[in-house]
Amino acid sequence: MVYLPIWLGEASEKIALPEARIILSDFGEAFSPAQETRYDSHTPLLIRPPEARFEPNKPLTFSSDIWTLACTIWDIIAQRPLFEGFLTNEDDMTCQQIDAFGKNGKHVEKDSPSGESRHINH
């Protein structure tokens, strides 16, 4: 089972380095793609990789773990999740992913005459 981060009453800036404790997690979905084939992801929608939805007939790879790890690192560094939605659904998550990364995961909009980058407003 995966548990999302919770507020523990102190901002990270107020915790001294000697008081800090690191907890490692495998997101409850650890497996070796070379030894086992999986086609579905049970991670929370907020950090679930897009390929779990759009490529259901393709086995998950290490890229899926990298996506989940990257979302988690963003959450830690930015002190807020990259994607919002406590009670979200797959369509809402897809809209947020497109807003953040553009279609096909590109930061630059092909339709933009100047090729401007998209910005994440957090």
b/e per residue, 88-99, with b = 16+ CB within 10 A?
Answer: eeeeebeebbee
Residue 61's domain spans which residues?
12-105
pLDDT at residue 59, rounded to an integer: 93
Each residue's pLDDT tens digit, 37-85 = 989 888 889 999 999 999 999 999 888 888 988 998 998 888 889 999 8
List the one residue out of 66, 64, 87 whose CA is nearest residue 4: 87
- pLDDT attached to residue 122: 40
pLDDT at position 86: 80
Over residues 89-97, mean pLDDT:
92
- Would residue 61 count as lying in a domain? yes
Q: Is residue 7 part of a domain?
A: no
Q: Which two tokens stand for residue 81?
A: 């999740």
pTM listed for this prediction: 0.63
The CATH number covering residue 77 comes to 1.10.510.10
* Mean pLDDT score across all residues of the chain: 77
Number of compact structural domains in the chain: 1
**3-class secondary-structure state, position 73:** helix
pLDDT band at 105 (very low <50, low <70, confident <90, very high): low
Residue 112 confidence (pLDDT) above 90: no
Residue 29: inside a domain: yes
Helix/strand/coil for 47: helix
pLDDT value at 90 more than 90: yes
